[in-house]
Structure formats: structure tokens, C-alpha cells
Structure 1
């Protein structure tokens, strides 16, 4: 019998970062990851941005989580000897005069000076982008190469014998008051970090997920040299020389993993409105985001099984939220630290029935 402190199910952003922090706390961890399933983490744009939306909403807890994530990812890059954290900042060219006036009014009303500045029209500044009206420049923004980071995590877990490429069989999972049993494994606790697949988990299928399908495109764009993320409702990320990712769509009524012609046409048409260079689409990817109705994470333990937990629901801001809330989850698990009510799944206990 193999004895563990934790079984973690899922090796996406949430599962990887939480498992890593538990291992650094000298806990015995084993990750179960079903490699046959498609994942949203592997196709995510990985954007982090402190100011979002048409009303310039400040990201929840931005002043806390953004410095925290920077320290975490830069340290992780050094340990893994990799480069997946890109602080490139973000430029939002004004689409029209009405939008320009709207954003200027909002910047006057809100104290966003730590993150935003107005950029006057300057064709030479972003030569491949239509910006005749200028735009908004956002600092503390960028993107994480999620696929590369997760690949690094997988190697780390495999090297330390903390990884098992296996789908968890719920019929083999036995939960008692004192421990978790699974085949030849005994653990103190189990944590589900399955992303969208938690909607099919018999222990947590009562939680009100609001999953959204998203599609992105990979394009060949010769001569594109802008490091900043360009965002005009749809965005461009420069991945490497001559290669960009375009995104992204939000679809709530067709939750599958198949790329669609309609999304290809939509993204292409939106990008073409502000990208002046010719491009060629080379691939298209789809994923299902584990978004939530209140846009807050799902963290905590099952209402009746005190040793069964969930760490999920990070949604579109997963790369920003995961480092900070994995640390919060670690404190909750190991030192009885109280989770903030906005993230604790106790807020939904009334939905659970035996």
C-alpha cells in the first residue's frame, strides 16, 4: 500500500500549481491526469490583464494577485530553466470616436493611473495596427505560455515520481472518515482540479459552473514585431517570429471541443479590422473554460466528506488567480487558514443534497 498526503486529480493550471506548492511544503503528492482528454489549459491564451472589459473594470484583487503572480512565475522560470512568463503589456486601439470618448471619461472617473495611460495617435508606434485615434496602454499585463509551463510541470512531476497518466475510476475510490483509498493507494485527502470535467464529478456536479467554449487561431504573420498584446475586443499575441495567436470566442450553448467555421470567420473578421498586415491561418484550437456564474473560484471541501476538496473555477483569469489562490488553498489545507467567502464553496452548500 502506497501512503500519501494528497491525491490531486487533473494537471491543468490549478492542479499543477497546487501540487507544486504542496510538494514544496514536503507533502507526499500523486497527480492523476487523463491524457486522453482534451484540455482548455493547453489551448489557453494565458493573458493576464489588470483592467478588462468595455467599462475598464479592475481585475478582482489586482493589487494583490499581480505582484504575487510575478514573483511566483519568475521564480518558477528560474527553477525550470524555461521562459513562459511574458510581461509584454497591452494596447487597446480605439475602435471609433464613441469608444474613445467613453474610455477617456472612464479614465477621468476612476483612479486607474497605476495601470493605464492614454496613447495619442502614432502610426510609427504600432505600425502594423490601425490606431488613428490612439488608444489605451495597460501596464502589468502580459501572457503565460500555458502549454510550455504545463509541459515543464509534467517533467518536474514525473522526475519526482508524482505523476500518473491515468483516468481516475470513481468506482475504485473509497472514502472513509480517516482516509481515501484508491486501488493500492491510501491518502489523507483528495483534491479535484479537473477544470470543465468537474461538471461530471459525482462529488461536485452540484456546483453551478457556467462553462464557456473558446476558440483561438494560430496565424503566420510575416513582419509582425509588436510584443504588446493588441486587444480590440479580439486580441493578437505574438508567439514568435512570424507566428501569432488570435482570439477569442465565448460560446455557452455548444460545449464541445471541435473548432468551428463560424468562429474562424468571426475571429478573422475582427482581427482584420485593426491588423494591417496580411496573414495566413495555420491552425485552429478549441477548449472549454471552467468559468463560474459569479466569476469567482471554487475552493474548499465537500459538505459531507471532510477529506474531499475542490480547487477549480479559475476561468479566463486562471493564470492570474492560480498562484495566489493555490497559496490560500495550501494555508486552508495545512494550517486551517480561513478561505475568503467569495471563493469558498460554502457559498453554494445550500445547493447540495444527499
Structure 2
């Protein structure tokens, strides 16, 4: 007899974690399949939440909607597990040049960032060893999420409660029909949601989506003299992990690449840290992961054009810890109550790519 579930989720990175939690919170039966990978993108990432980012120094997309949902999600998990995951702290954005300094400060008179940026007239706090020849700004309401601790806690819970299964998804076992999906002879679900990250490029149903894997590397560094109450950002981020350790990242490398740490990334990140601080430090670890990036830099949510029981939740890129909690709510509402997805993230915007891929497959050789 087949086990019955409402949702089968493939992947347990930040997308699968947030969606699974949201669905279980609503009383729905969820089964998650995940091939545990110590260097998954979510585990390698520093988990930054940055309300103002990019070369244009603009407010993050939909920040007033996304940030409260993210804060509520991590606070709820902290209450559930009795431990801390989200570390809210100021981000010191240090300018890289006189031109950047002038451009940003000239915009500050119009207060385009609301309450997310401290008054530039206050200057930067006194941080021993910090190098900032061009000045900078202090960003508010940001911080970082301990994604490794969060995943570990939920993985332990999932195995104990039976909703998480550490196994490799086999596409050939999945059979969609008008009422849902069957996975082998053992499981039946109303929907399967693919939260596979960069490996979606190999997905038989969603490989037409414009996802490009992007490799990122980070360093784990011992630097006991660096401040513990700030995230630093100039060319690289420096996140205080506690116990005298920080994480420094991240690099961006487009295919082709090999999934292993490189000497080039180590040298690049070490140099960036030297440019940020004069305090002594020692590199004690280096890790590499692969992000799913999208052509228009917006996530990918929605049903397959032909098989509505097949759903994708992907393309979170380097901002997953900020984006995922609210988007999990948006996707759950769409699937359970037929609410409209946000147009910026709905995969229907790439319908032409699916049509072209389907035509190419159907054409004779």
C-alpha cells in the first residue's frame, strides 16, 4: 500500500527547509528526500542578510516584505529548538574608492534607504585594525544566519520524526498524472517540489529554466582581534562566527570549474582580508559550493507548464536566507489556495524557453 503525502520535496537546502517548515506548520504531510552533501551551497554560505547591496547600493528587492518574514521564520525556529540561528548585527559597508564615496554620500541627502542605513554624519564606529581610507556607512537590520546549525537541527528532527529521508532522488521512479505523482510503489503525493539548487540543470522536467551554476569559495579564519559585533563588507564579507573565528567570502566563478577549493580563491580572499584589517589572522579552512543563479537575478517558482503536480522552487542565488522564508509562504499559498505568484518570480516569464525546448525535442533529427 502506498504511503500518502501532500508534498514530496526534493532537496533540503534553504529552499527545501523553508518550504517544508511552512507546509508542516499548516498541518500538511511532507516527505523530503535529500542526498546529504557537506558542501551544499546552503552549508557553505555565510548566510548574510543585507538590506542594501550591489554596486548601485540600492535597497534589496522587496526588502520591506522579505525581511520581516525572514526574521519571524528564524525566531520561530529558535523558539522551537531552543538555540540561536539568526545573529542580527550592523554591517559596516566600507567604500572602495573616492568615487564610490562621493556617489553614495550624494544620494544620502534624499534618504533613499529609510531606516536601513544609519545617519552618514555619525561616521563609522571605532573598530581596532579596520582599514577604511574612503569611509563607509553602517547598515541596520542586517546580520547573518548560522545555516549549518539550522540545517543540522532540522535534519535531526526530520530523521527522528520520519519526514526526512537521506537518499538520492531517482527521476525514473516519478510518475505524474492528473491527480498528483507516484514515486515508485511506496509513495503518493499531490505535489512534488524540486528544491535542488544548481543541480536543477539536470532535472528532466525543469532543465529548460535559465539556471547557471556559479561556484563560490569561502575561508574560515582565526582572527581573535577582529570585532565580534559587526559584519564587514568591502570586496569581501567578514562574518564573526564566535570563538575568535570569522568567515571570509565569497568568490564567484562561472563554468567551467571543478568542485574543489582553489589556490586562486584562497589568495584572492586572503588579499581582500588584508585590505580590510591590520590585525593578524590565520586561514584554518576553505570550502566551496555552487549557487543556482538566474538570468534576471530573480528566483524561480511555479508549476510545470504541462504537469501541474510538478513544481519548482529554485534560483535563490546568494540571497537565499533572506528570500526563502517569504517565498515559501508565497508558493504554499499558490499551491494550497490558488493565489497568484509574484510575477517577478513566476516561471511563466520563461514560457518561451520551455516552448523552444519542447519543439527542439519533438523535431526529427
Alignment check: 8 A CA contact 2:39 2:287 kept: no
Once residues 107 and 157 of structure 2 are traced to their aligned partners in structure 1, the CA distance between those partners, rounded to angstroms, is 45
Once residues 209 and 294 of structure 1 are traced to their aligned partners in structure 2, the CA distance between those partners, rounded to angstroms, is 10
Counterparts of 1:183-332 in structure 2, within 5 Å, are 183=184, 184-332=186-334
Q: Which residue does 2:155 correspond to in 1?
A: 154
Deviates more, 1:111-120 or 1:297-306: 111-120
Q: CA deviation at 1:189?
A: 1.1
Asked whether 1:19 is paired with 2:20, we answer: yes
Q: Which residue does 1:87 correspond to in 2?
A: 88
Once residues 172 and 101 of structure 1 are traced to their aligned partners in structure 2, the CA distance between those partners, rounded to angstroms, is 58
Q: CA deviation at 1:35?
A: 1.8
Asked whether 1:50 is paired with 2:55, we answer: no
Once residues 66 and 256 of structure 1 are traced to their aligned partners in structure 2, the CA distance between those partners, rounded to angstroms, is 34
Q: Secondary structure at the match of 1:290?
A: strand
Count of residue correspondences = 353
Q: CA deviation at 1:224?
A: 2.0
Q: CA deviation at 1:156?
A: 2.1
The CA RMSD measured in Å over matched residues stands at 1.6
Q: Which residue does 2:77 correspond to in 1?
A: 76
Unpaired runs of 5+ residues, structure 2, are 359-365
> In the superposition, relative to structure 1, how do residues 144 and 119 fare at CA in structure 2: closer, same or farther (>3 Å)?
farther
- What CA deviation, in whole Å up to 9, does each residue of 1:272-325 have, x standing for no partner? 012111111001011111111111110010000010000111111100010100
Unpaired runs of 5+ residues, structure 1, are none
Asked whether 1:182 is paired with 2:183, we answer: yes
Once residues 97 and 190 of structure 2 are traced to their aligned partners in structure 1, the CA distance between those partners, rounded to angstroms, is 57
Query: Runs of 4+ in structure 1 displaced over 4 angstroms?
Result: 119-122
Once residues 231 and 121 of structure 2 are traced to their aligned partners in structure 1, the CA distance between those partners, rounded to angstroms, is 15
Q: Secondary structure at the match of 2:130?
A: coil
Q: Which residue does 2:338 correspond to in 1?
A: 336
Q: What is the TM-score of this pair, normalised by structure 1? A: 0.96
Once residues 169 and 9 of structure 1 are traced to their aligned partners in structure 2, the CA distance between those partners, rounded to angstroms, is 10
Q: Secondary structure at the match of 1:236?
A: strand
Q: CA deviation at 1:256?
A: 3.3
Once residues 192 and 50 of structure 1 are traced to their aligned partners in structure 2, the CA distance between those partners, rounded to angstroms, is 28
Alignment check: 8 A CA contact 2:228 2:242 kept: no
